[in-house]
Amino acid sequence: MRRFSPLHPTEGAVSPAEVRFLDLHVEPWEDNRRIRVHIRLTPFQKPPNLETSLVDVMERVIASATVIENIDFDLVFTLHIRPPDAPGPFRLTSQVEYEDLGVVDQKSIRFKLPVE
């Protein structure tokens, strides 16, 4: 897994204002109560914060996660869908933020859970 290291800067790392999403996608767990969130970012010179939220068809936030000073260029984490019977389709939104700059990139995707 590639990650930020202040002692060994990554070739091609970009300044905070230029950090972008390269990929954002989800994989539902078999129980349809959790999703794996996959994020890939451009290599960065300074660790960003990540804000991720999942909303249902009625625009209610049903899951969220915050990662402070993320050091991974590629990361995967699990969100639990609460309540488990929340109606889809769903929208996942993730933002790259810096305290001094605010949001520098945002990406949203829509998806449905597989029918059991």
Would the pTM of this model clear 0.85, i.e. be above it?
yes
pLDDT at position 116: 64
Task: Determine which of 59-63, 66-70, 81-85 has the lowest per-residue pLDDT on average.
Answer: 81-85
Q: Domain tally for the chain?
A: 1
Token couple for 66: 């915050």
Q: Taking all residues of the chain, what is their mean pLDDT, rounded to a whole number?
A: 94
Q: What is the CATH number of the domain that holds 43?
A: 2.60.40.10
User: Judging by DSSP bridges, how do beta strands 74-80 and 34-41 pair with one another?
Assistant: antiparallel
Mean pLDDT over 109-113 rounds to 96
pLDDT average, residue stretch 43-57: 97
Specify if 115 maps to a domain: no
Helix (H, G, I), strand (E, B) or coil at 62: strand
pLDDT tens digit sequence for 2-37: 777 777 778 889 999 999 999 999 999 999 999 999
Give dist(CA 20, CA 34) in Å, integer: 26
Establish if 45 belongs to a structural domain: yes
Residue 83 located in a structural domain: yes
Q: Which residues, other chains included, contact 82 with Cβ-Cβ below 8 Å and sequence gap of 6+?
A: 62, 63
Structural domain boundaries, residue 75: 16-100
